[in-house]
Amino acid sequence: MARKIILALIGIVFLFGAFTVAKKTIDGREDWKPRPKAKLVTGAFVETVQNTSSPITITTSGNLMAKNRVEVFSEVQGIFNASARPFKPGTYFKKGEPLLELDKKEEVIALKAQKSSFYNQLVLLIPDLRLDYPDAVGKWDEYVSAFDVDHPLPALPEPDSEKEKLFLSGRNIYTAFYNVQNLETQLQNFTIRAPFSGVLTQALVNPGALIRPGQKLGEFIDRSSYELEVAINTAYGDLLGVGKTVQLHNVERTKTWTGKVIRVNSLVDAASQTIPTFILVSGKGLKEGMYLEADVTAKEEANTYEVNRKLLVENDKLFVVRDSALQLVNVEPIYFKESSAVVKGLQDGEQLLSKTIPGAYVGMRVKIFSDKEALQD
């Protein structure tokens, strides 16, 4: 019985405590009043639009090729005997220096034998000339006296009449003369000389190798001037003519050169709808095969403004600030660069959003910040 009384008292105390706590909570809520929500305002960086005439610059690229280049081939057969300098890539040769020489001992002997045979024909010709053409003997005597098998064959004396010419033909003088000249020409092919001062860029043979007719021996270039072939869109083909100046630079944009358009192909590439254009350039630091970019100023477009490409919305809209709120305006992209775009459609004095705002939308309330305020923050 006593236990039941104790439990009843504990229950009454618990209920009283709960009632007290609940009353204090209700009294406290009567004093609380909801605070009005503060309107969120996002900071915005803007720039004032001032339309100008923007140059439309076409950026294209290509690889340098030497303006003067030759592939070295052999016209005769022989052993690679010697060269003025080492026949290796990168070796410089002056104009006229032997790139390589083939062994020609047998050919020299054969040429001398042919010259000796021709000399004998001339000696046998003189007595007949004394009888039939005494006036022509003097010039032929001088020719025979000056004849030397170790020197290039001089030109034949001119006949004084058609009869004299027929007489010489009947003695096979002209045939023998041209046979000797042919051997002399072939003998010159055993020495391949540099057609201009330049550098050997490719060497496919070594001294001592057997060279065959038609075999490619290497490549030789003039490193004083180069050509850059670039592809220009047909839309600007009429604006880019021969003689136009072009600015060139390497990929890192650490070096620049000035080139000039020297040729424009009349053929349009059917796949890319571009026109092959050739730019002549020379200067220090240029090398065969070097990759260059060309900035070609095609024309100027009036009433345009250049903006960061990241600011474009759907490629033809931009955010501007009007009455402290964002608004979208339609623009006409004229030309896209690597990181910017030239557009039309903005009004002078318009406050253009210069930095993107995540989640921006039409009507968003913004506060215009200056760069100085951003640095202080």
* Residue 365 CB neighbours (<10 A): 13
How many domains does one find in the chain?
5
Among residues 267, 300, 333, which one ends one of the domains?
Answer: 300
- Please give the pLDDT value at position 370: 56
Q: Does the residue 39 lie in any domain?
A: no
Q: Does the residue 35 lie in any domain?
A: no
Please check whether residues 334 and 268 belong to one and the same domain.
Answer: no
Please check whether residues 184 and 146 belong to one and the same domain.
Answer: yes
Q: Does the residue 38 lie in any domain?
A: no
The percentage of the chain sitting over the pLDDT mark of 70, rounded to a whole number, equals 86
Give the tokens for residue 88: 């290796």
Maximum mean pLDDT: which of 36-45, 69-78, 126-135: 69-78
Q: Are 272 and 306 in contact (CB under 8 A)?
A: no
- Please give the pLDDT value at position 292: 94
Please check whether residues 184 and 199 belong to one and the same domain.
Answer: no
Task: Concatenate the DSSP letters of all residues of 224-245 into one string.
Answer: T-EEEEEEEEGGGGGG--TT-E
- Please give the pLDDT value at position 375: 36
Between 238 and 311, the more confident residue is 311
Q: Are 88 and 205 in contact (CB under 8 A)?
A: no
Q: Scanning the structure block, which residue is given the tokens 């330049």?
A: 198
Q: Which residue segment(s) compose the domain that 2 sits in?
A: 1-30
Q: What is the pLDDT of residues 40-71, one digit of tens each?
A: 678 888 899 999 988 777 788 899 999 999 99
Q: Does the residue 37 lie in any domain?
A: no
Please check whether residues 115 and 85 belong to one and the same domain.
Answer: no
Please check whether residues 91 and 143 belong to one and the same domain.
Answer: no
Q: What is the mean pLDDT of residues 322-341?
A: 87
Give the tokens for residue 50: 């001032």
Task: Concatenate the DSSP letters of all residues of 285-354 into one string.
Answer: T--TT-EEEEEEEEEEEEEEEEEEGGG-BTTTEEEEEETTEEEEEE-EEEEE-SSEEEEE-PPTT-EEE-
Please check whether residues 243 and 360 belong to one and the same domain.
Answer: no
Q: Are 225 and 99 in contact (CB under 8 A)?
A: no
Q: Does the residue 36 lie in any domain?
A: no
- Please give the pLDDT value at position 113: 94
Among residues 164, 188, 212, which one ends one of the domains?
Answer: 188
Q: Does the residue 294 lie in any domain?
A: yes
Range scoring the smallest mean pLDDT among 151-155, 192-196, 246-250, 337-341:
337-341
Please check whether residues 245 and 283 belong to one and the same domain.
Answer: yes
CA–CA distance, 306 with 266 (Å, rounded to integer): 33
Please check whether residues 208 and 307 belong to one and the same domain.
Answer: no
Q: Are 286 and 323 in contact (CB under 8 A)?
A: no
User: Residue 144 above 80 pLDDT?
Assistant: yes
Range scoring the smallest mean pLDDT among 33-47, 159-173, 357-371:
33-47
pTM of the complete model: 0.64
- Please give the pLDDT value at position 222: 94
Q: Does the residue 240 lie in any domain?
A: yes
Q: Does the residue 143 lie in any domain?
A: yes
CA–CA distance, 110 with 2 (Å, rounded to integer): 149
Q: Are 176 and 113 in contact (CB under 8 A)?
A: no
Phi first, then psi: give them for residue 145, nearest 5 degrees: -65, -35
Phi first, then psi: give them for residue 20, nearest 5 degrees: -65, -45
Please check whether residues 91 and 122 belong to one and the same domain.
Answer: no
Q: Scanning the structure block, which residue is given the tokens 């909801």?
A: 34
Please check whether residues 168 and 203 belong to one and the same domain.
Answer: no
For residue 327, what is the domain's CATH number? 2.40.420.20
Please check whether residues 217 and 247 belong to one and the same domain.
Answer: no
Please check whether residues 232 and 292 belong to one and the same domain.
Answer: yes
Among residues 300, 335, 368, which one ends one of the domains?
Answer: 300
- How many residues would you count in the chain? 377
Give the tokens for residue 307: 């903006």
Q: Are 331 and 309 in contact (CB under 8 A)?
A: no
